Structure formats: C-alpha cells, structure tokens
A and B are shown apart, each in its own frame.
Chain A
C-alpha cells in the first residue's frame, strides 16, 4: 500500500488547474497548425492564425486562453494499492478553488435557477476509476460552457445501429454550426446506460488529438465520423472551410439488449487539459 499525502495532491492539482487555462496542449496546437496549412479560404486561415497567436499570447502574458475558464472537470485513475490521506474529492475541489483564485480564472458556476454565482467555481466534477497499481493520476479539463451547451445524448434503438449513430452525430454538429467555437473536438460515448454514455463521451475528449482508439474498428468509425463532419463545410468560427472538427474520439462499452445509448460531448478548440501523476 502506498500512502499519498493530501498536501501533495492539493499542490499537484493547483498546478495543473493554473497551467491548463494558459497553455494550449501541443496536440491541439499542432492540429491547428496543420489545419492552417490545409485551409484555402481566407477567413478560415485568418481565424486559425488568430487562435495560434492567442495561444502564444496566453503562454507569455499569463492571461487565460479564453475568458470562459470553465467547469473544473477531473477524471481520476486511483491505483488499487494507493491510500489517500484524506477525502480525495474534497482535496481536488479545494485545490481547484485555490487554482481558480490564484490563477485569476473566471468563476463560472452558479445556482441553476437563481443563477447566483457560487463565487469560487466549486463544485468540481470528479469521476474516479479504480485501476491496478500504486499510482494516482489526475486528469483535469477546464470545460467551457459554449461547447458544452451544444452536446446532446439520446437513446437509440438497437435497429438504428451505426447508421443511426452517424446520423445523430453529424446532424448535431450541423445544427451546432458556429456556436461551439469550431474547430471542435467531438467526444462520442456509445453504450453503457443513460448516465454512462455522456461520461464516456467526456472521457473520450481526454485522448490527444490525432490518437485513434486502440480498437481498429472503433478507430475506423472515428475517421468516418471526422470526414463526415468536415464535409459539412462549417469551418473555423462557422465562416466556411475544411476544418469543422480537429478530431472525433469514440469510447464504447456494452449496453442492455434493449438499448443503444449515445452521447455527443462537444469540445471547442480551446481544449484545456492537463494531468498530474503522483
């Protein structure tokens, strides 16, 4: 059994929260660069150029990439041989609050009906998976609201199958159009139960841009969806072009014989992800 101190987890999480908001991950940056090279339309090139300039400026100026520094989302892989000295969810939430305060990040959470701001960006959304080993991996995503609002889930019939999935995902992105700050990254969760499919879709978004699902059949589905979405021609900021999405990620798991749960979680180009391993 390995013991991990609350303070080490806290410090690690404060660090990734402050960094995620400012540094665009390398995989996203290089995908934007490649898109810029492939685009022929002036407006698409102009927008992609601005996004790269924005990423450079955020890294050097200390300003966040985007004013919407999002909901603090965490996916935790907790080794079965790890003992955490304290309540892991509370430690992560406390560290997230400190990171948002110290990092001058916007507090974007509120009561759903009165709309009163919670004042400290809490509560964090924390998913915990128990995995083999003695490591604790905490992956953080600062998830913006504009792209989250364009996400949808549904319960298809088994008969609708892959054709139904493809139709739903492509239609969703066509309807979303310019709203989620394209170029987007699209997370697709297939299977599980009504609650699990969206969590799979969000988990999918943590996989780096350009990295395919390890299952070759699912990898081929990702490529098929990406090509279909980019055929839409929505382009950067919806002004037309070849780059509507930078990537599509699918996570899949078994479901009930009566069901085909499906979730589409839309991520914007400002895909702010950072992890710490303890």
Chain B
C-alpha cells in the first residue's frame, strides 16, 4: 500500500501505477456532480451541447456541499453514495473522465469501464464532511446554479485524502461480507 501525491488533470500513467488500498493525496482542480447534474451533463451530450468542463483527464467528485460559512470557500463536503451515478459513469469514462470520488460499491459496468478506459474510483470518508472540507481551498459554481446543492462546482483541492477502491486493473478494496449473497 503506497501513498502517492497526484495533480490534476490525471494521466493514464498516473492511474496505471495505482493499486487498490493505495492512498492518494490529490491536488488541483476537481468538479462536483451528483444525481441531477449527471442527468443534465448526459442530456447535454445527447444534444451535442458544450459541457461546463473539459472531460479529458477530469476527476468528478460526487458531493452536494452544505452552504459556505463566512470566510470559507465551502461548507461540509464529504462524498455521497456512488452507485446512483453508475448508469452515467461508463459513458463519462469513455469520454475521458479519469476518476470519480465517492463512497460505496460500484456496478460491474463501472468496474469494466475503469479497466477499458484506464480510470480509478476513489473512496473518501463518508460522513467526514467537515474534515474533508479543510482540503478544499476554492469553490465556484460553474453550471446548473438552479440545482442548489446539486450544482456543478469547480473545486481546488490540496492534499485531498483518497483511497483507491477500484483500480484500473479490475480490483476492488471493499471487504467481502461473510455472507453468501
């Protein structure tokens, strides 16, 4: 289990060396999008419209932050459960998105897309929204302002602590429950 410091945009050679269980301190720009924003992004793709950010090399953070207090860029900002974005994620990976950040299990289709298009799924600690917000140094709504907490935000992060949950080689870090499912 290694620790890496990476800076966005992420490149295939960055991602290919990552293995499940590795810790990544992420720096640079990431984009927030959750349920409603994913639907709109995919509608834009269907209509051949320009997306609010460049997908090539992008990292998408599944989060809907709480409002920013005076003097802070953002409120609490921990991950939301990722499976709800599973129906959109393979398409976004096929268009150049390199990683997503969330919590919880991904579908087989997402795991395959990570292998096929060289991508990684990072876990951040769910419910540690106050703590994680300390690594966000700037935040700006860049699209879908009407969605409130679900708007797309451009975040600048410094040493954002992530765990490689699904790597580009088909592996997964979550414990398999002692139960025949």
Contact = CB atoms under 8 A, between A and B. Distances in A.
Say if A and B assemble together. Answer: yes
A67 B129 contact: yes
Nearest to B128: A54
Interface stretch (A71-79, A103-111, A207-215): A103-111
Contact of B76 (A64, A119, A178): A64
Nearest to B176: A233
Contact of B66 (A61, A105, A180, A268): A105
Chain B facing A: main interface SS: loop
B2 interface: no
A175 B176 CA distance: 10
B127 interface: yes
Contacts of B173: 239
Interface string B49-74: 00000000000000111111100100
Contacts of A234: 175, 177
A106 B147 contact: no
Nearest to A176: B104
A104 B181 CA distance: 41
Contacts of A178: 103-105, 123, 174
Contact of A175 (B65, B68, B181): B181
Interface string B118-142: 0000010111111101100000000
A53 B177 contact: no
A237 B103 contact: yes
Most A CB atoms within 10 A — which of B126, B129, B147? B126
Given A64-B66, A179-B103, A237-B103, A104 B177 contact: no
A53 B128 CA distance: 9
B81 interface: yes
Interface of B: 35-36, 39, 63-69, 72, 75-78, 80-81, 83, 103-105, 123, 125-131, 133-134, 147-150, 163, 173-175, 177-179, 181
Interface of A: 43, 47, 50-51, 53-54, 57-58, 61-69, 104-108, 115, 117, 119, 144-146, 149, 170-171, 174-175, 177-181, 231-235, 237-241, 268-270
